[in-house]
Amino acid sequence: MKLLLLSDVNSTHTQKWAESLSDKGFDIGIFSLIKPETDWFCKYKNIKVLSDGNITLKTHQETSLTK
């Protein structure tokens, strides 16, 4: 089964959810408006990150961009 998480890829909560679901055999996609600060997801073959890639955490905090 495939699941898409709409969440901040840098959030520890998102990482825990994704890792737990991945360990249970789910294919996980994470759509994040903010690009990843680390590559924590690379050790999981069934986690893919989909990000605009142009928005950094600093940019996000300086603008009116919200969830």
> Per-residue DSSP letters for 15-62?
HHHHHHHHHTT-EEEEEESS--SS-GGGG-TTEEEEE-SS--HHHHHH
State yes or no: pLDDT of 58 exceeds 60. Answer: no
Number of structural domains in the chain: 1
Is there a domain that residue 67 lies in?
no
Kindly report which listed range (4-8, 15-19, 22-26, 53-57) carries the lowest average pLDDT score: 53-57
Is there a domain that residue 20 lies in?
yes
Question: Residue 11 sits in which domain range?
Answer: 2-32+44-62
**In this prediction, what percent of the chain has a pLDDT beyond 70?**
76
Is there a domain that residue 39 lies in?
no
Is there a domain that residue 38 lies in?
no
State yes or no: pLDDT of 57 exceeds 80. Answer: no
Is there a domain that residue 56 lies in?
yes
Q: Whole-prediction pTM value? A: 0.76
